[in-house]
Amino acid sequence: MLKDLDNFNKFCEDRKNFSYSTFGDSNTRGCESPLLHLREEISELIENPNDEMEWADCWLLLLDAACRKGYTVDDLVEFGKRKLEINKKREWVKQPSGVYKHKK
């Protein structure tokens, strides 16, 4: 559970200010660039799942892409809630790779 919502909101604002001042605002740089970077970082995270900074890289890039698309953290939580309810109703099958996928 998040201990300090004000601290989290301050962090999100700080992250946005850094990103926009460093890489340009949403009109200058859309969500595609951070998503492409996220793809690279996910590969690094898969190779180094104990590296906390790789987790942070992925999370920050996802937040940046969502923000640049116009979504808020509250939106992401709502999307997650809705998707979780969908996933709860699905039947999941373990693939030979070890990954679980839902039946169509």
Please give the pLDDT value at position 66. 95
Q: What one-character-per-residue DSSP string does 48-99 give? A: -TT-HHHHHHHHHHHHHHHHHHT--HHHHHHHHHHHHHHHHTS-EEE-TTS-
Q: What are phi and psi of 101, to 5 degrees?
A: -130, 150
Please give the pLDDT value at position 50. 98
Give the single-character DSSP code of 27. T
* DSSP 3-state of 102: strand
pTM of the model: 0.86
Q: What is the pLDDT along the chain (104 residues), one digit of tens a residue?
A: 567 878 888 898 999 999 999 999 888 889 999 999 999 999 999 999 999 999 999 999 999 999 999 998 889 999 999 999 999 999 999 999 999 999 98
